[in-house]
Structure 1
Amino acid sequence: MTTREQRIEKYHADRSVYQAVPKSESLSRTAKDRKLCTSLEEAIKRSGLKDGMTVSFHHAFRGGDFVVNMVMNKITSNLLNKK
Structure 2
Amino acid sequence: MAVISHWLNNKSYPGTRVDTAPVTNPATGAVTGQVALAGVEDARAVIDAAAAAFPAWRDTSLAKRTQVIFKFRELLNARKGELAEIITAEH
Specify the TM-score bucket, using the shorter chain as the normaliser: under 0.3
Could you say which structure has the higher strand fraction?
2
Q: TM-score, normalised by structure 1?
A: 0.28
Could you say which structure has the higher helix fraction?
1
Point out which structure has higher relative CO (alpha carbons under 8 A, 6+ apart).
2
Query: Which structure's CA Rg is the greater one?
Result: 1
Q: TM-score, normalised by structure 2?
A: 0.25
